[in-house]
Structure 1
Amino acid sequence: MGSALEDTDEDVEDEDEDTTEAADAKAVTGGKPSGGASDAELFRQSEIAADYVEGLLDILDYDGDIDELVSGGRPMVEVVGGRLQALVGQRGATLEALQELARLAVFRQTGSPSRLLLDVGGYRANRRKELAAVARNAVEKVKEYGEAVRLEPMSAFERKCVHDVVNALAGVESESEGVEPNRRIVVRPVG
């Protein structure tokens, strides 16, 4: 198998802590983490998604190694290889769309929604590192000037990464504001 992405996306229904996918999963599963699915069920979801992605790669005539795994109570599919940037797209937009298609493929076969996470060429792992730096920079500005900092609009995955970093630090808090596709994070001093 491949390396597991470190993703600690917890189901958060609070509107300030955005995770559209987590809220959707809670609505369908009654709030149970991972819908109460066993590791075997989650791995089956990753296998279904991997088969779907492999079919797409064949149609596009792209080469890539596909790993299916379960990490953090979540099914995952990782695709690695050369010439895959087109599958990521600008700021991960194509990757997000492919992830939704893979989730639909899982839903079609299982009848249950999936919190599947798809990564292509290590994009999500690299983006998570970049976003951690963005979050730390915003926190430094908030602490230095005592004023809220509004970040650029981000996807649900990106916002979750920033929330995780900010919430781990003392003296600051974060919340999401706005409406997709312009939903953004505001980092502010506590109190």
Structure 2
Amino acid sequence: MTNDTVIEEPTQELLEREGDIAADYIEGLLDIADLDGDLTLDVKHGRAYVSVEDESDSLRVLSAPETVQALQELTRIAVQNQTGQFSRLILDVAGSRDTRRRQLEKLVDHAVEKLDDGASQASLPAMSSYERKLVHDIVAEKGLVSESYGDGVERHTVIRRR
């Protein structure tokens, strides 16, 4: 007897519901903080995406990567409390995800310089699973190989040539 756990992909309907619940939660937080924001909901790659934008730059205070990560975790918990299902939703505040991707691209470029200088591999700092996924995508686009090592908050990515 095997102990393989089959993880079912969430349905489009569940992901849309997650987005709606998350949007309500984020709107409540914005109201408490007296901040304005326009929310956009989307479903892609098997995840609900919630983006919060504002023309006045008032959301800048919430767009630091650590803050967005914390807000995302709180929002996931709020969604899970209502759906009874683990949520993998992605939260973007004031373009924070694009900003973080650019930062990760620079980090990967620096690691590639180490490889160009003769290093056999280059380790990146520990980061979230979402950030590691972005790094793996960036590394693959550059024709290199990456693997994640470590556990929990110490999990990090190592880059090497093929």
With normalisation by structure 1, the TM-score equals 0.73
List aligned pairs for 1:90-109, cutoff 5 A. 92-109=65-82
Answer yes or no: is the 8 Å Cα contact 1:74–1:117 preserved in 2: yes
2:6 aligned to 7, 24, 30, which one? 30
Question: Relative contact order (alpha carbons < 8 A, sep ≥ 6): 1 or 2 greater?
Answer: 1
1:132 aligns with 2:108: no
Q: C-alpha offsets along residues 82-137 of structure 1, whole Å, 9 cap, x if unaligned?
A: 21122233xx1111111111111111111111110000000012211231232244
Taking the aligned partners of 2:126 and 2:49, their CA distance within structure 1 comes to 25
1:40 aligned to 13, 25, 32, which one? 13
Per the TM alignment, residue 146 of structure 1 is displaced from its structure 2 partner at its CA by 4.4
Describe the SS at the equivalent of 1:152.
Answer: coil
Describe the SS at the equivalent of 1:31.
Answer: coil
Bigger-Rg structure (1/2): 2
Taking the aligned partners of 2:33 and 2:118, their CA distance within structure 1 comes to 50
Per the TM alignment, residue 140 of structure 1 is displaced from its structure 2 partner at its CA by 4.3
List aligned pairs for 1:8-157, cutoff 5 A. 30-32=6-8, 35=9, 37-81=10-54, 82-89=57-64, 92-157=65-130
Per the TM alignment, residue 66 of structure 1 is displaced from its structure 2 partner at its CA by 0.9
Percent sequence identity over aligned pairs = 44
**RMSD (Å) for aligned C-alpha atoms:** 2.1
Taking the aligned partners of 2:115 and 2:35, their CA distance within structure 1 comes to 45
1:184 aligns with 2:156: yes
Taking the aligned partners of 1:183 and 1:175, their CA distance within structure 2 comes to 10
Taking the aligned partners of 1:104 and 1:175, their CA distance within structure 2 comes to 29
- Runs of 5+ in structure 1 lacking a partner? 1-26
Answer yes or no: is the 8 Å Cα contact 1:146–1:189 preserved in 2: no
1:161 aligns with 2:134: yes
Equivalent pairs, count: 157
Taking the aligned partners of 2:161 and 2:116, their CA distance within structure 1 comes to 7
